[in-house]
Amino acid sequence: MNPSCPYCFSNETTKNGFSKNNVQRYRCNNCHKSFCANTTKVEFRSRKDNAIWYKFNNCLAKGFTLKESAKICGISVNTATDWKKKIKFSNSSTYISQIQKEKIYQYNEKNKADGLALLDNIIDNSVDIVFFDPQYRGLLDKMKYGNQNRQIDRIALPQMTTEIIRDFLSQIDRVLKKDGYLFLWIDRFHLCEGIGAWLNGLDLNFHTVDTITWDKQKLGMGYRTRKTAENLMILCRHNAPTHWTDHSIPDIWPEKVKKNHPHSKPVELQRRLILAVSQDNPNAIVVDPAAGGYSVLEATRLAGRNFLGCDVEFG
């Protein structure tokens, strides 16, 4: 099986001869770029040992300055500066920070698994970004109308109780970094009435800083009014340093999506959010413990970041 394109992540690739060093080259039928297996690796054509690259990347992840990182790795500051630029613009998964206690789940792939089990396997304070779309019957029970016919596919999915959602939020709080972000999808009733039932009694370290309304660009179900939108809560750590870089995202986001899952979500909005909070961290890891149709995986790939997620039904 041919490797995916490192530029557009398409699987439509074909063999395209060999380089002068007899390395197999490939061509993408989608973006028409050519590449080899090592093209996007930051150590490609480097004279330094790979172990030094790993050490340098870990220094950056721990917050060391370039001067400190250069001294630890035995390289010049100029070399450290060049390496940081290479890592920033690399889409390589070689330098995915190891956030799992045990290497059970695949990065940048679909994993069929229990989301709580995945979170339990993640090291404390190691995750940059989490998307969470809890599957619950709040909206259906409130509206009642249409439950048995128009929402059969949604009703058939495993439902999360309040206790299970609270367990997810506790685990998310544990694994998020001190400057990490949680993007939480909720329905309009929870937007109005709050998510207190999910949070009461939990000693959580994040708070709501903003909300976005997703305009689906289509008319949905309804009893009094027809549903055309969903809401996204943006939460971050208390006193977390501000590193939001994209200030052009509107609080009402129009995006029509192709439905491949009862809870399909807007890929482009999620891509923009990922980049907004990880512009200076190209190796950021995005976690989605209830991935559903894996729109976050697609958004993460388009953003050039790394994904770790699963769904109990789809994988």
Beta strands in the chain (DSSP E): 13-18, 24-28, 34-36, 127-132, 176-186, 206-215, 229-237, 252-254, 285-288, 306-309
Phi, psi for residue 42 in degrees, rounded to 5: -65, -25
Average pLDDT over residues 179-184: 94
pLDDT band at residue 211 using 50, 70 and 90 as cut-offs: very high
Q: Is the pLDDT of residue 89 over 70?
A: no
Compute the distance between CA of residue 87 and CA of residue 244 in angstroms, rounded to an integer.
20
- CB–CB of 180/237 below 8 Å? yes
Residue (of 40, 134, 95, 108) closest to 300 by Cα position: 108
Average pLDDT over residues 239-263: 84
- Which amino acid would we find at residue 207? H
pLDDT band at residue 239 using 50, 70 and 90 as cut-offs: low
pLDDT at 145: 47
CB burial of residue 218 (10 Å; 0-12, 13-18, 19+): exposed
User: 36 CB contacts (<8 Å, ≥6 apart)?
Assistant: 19, 23, 24, 25, 26
Q: If you average pLDDT over every residue of the chain, what do you get?
A: 82
- Cα–Cα–Cα angle for 10, 14, 17, rounded to 5 degrees: 135
pLDDT band at residue 94 using 50, 70 and 90 as cut-offs: very low
Compute the distance between CA of residue 157 and CA of residue 152 in angstroms, rounded to an integer.
9
Which residues pair with residue 253 across a beta bridge?
214
Q: Is the pLDDT of residue 187 over 50?
A: yes
Q: Is the pLDDT of residue 140 over 60?
A: no
pLDDT at 299: 93
pLDDT at 20: 82
Domain boundaries, the chain: 13-88, 115-309
Average pLDDT over residues 32-60: 74
- CB–CB of 155/131 below 8 Å? no
Least confident of 90-94, 243-247, 251-255, 289-293: 90-94
User: What Cα–Cα distance (Å) separates residue 106 from each residue in 8, 144, 180, 306?
Assistant: 20, 39, 21, 11
pLDDT at 77: 92
- CB–CB of 40/60 below 8 Å? no
Q: Which of helix, strand or coil describes residue 128?
A: strand
Phi, psi for residue 79 in degrees, rounded to 5: -65, -40
Phi, psi for residue 196 in degrees, rounded to 5: -55, -35
Least confident of 83-92, 116-125, 145-154: 145-154
- Which DSSP letter does residue 101 get? S
Domain 115-309, architecture per CATH: 3-Layer(aba) Sandwich (3.40)
Q: Exposed e or buried b for every residue in 119-135, given b needs 16+ CB within 10 A?
A: bebbeeebbbbbbbbbb
- Higher-confidence position of 46 and 102: 102
DSSP string of 176-200?
A: EEEEEEEEEEE-HHHHHH-SHHHHT
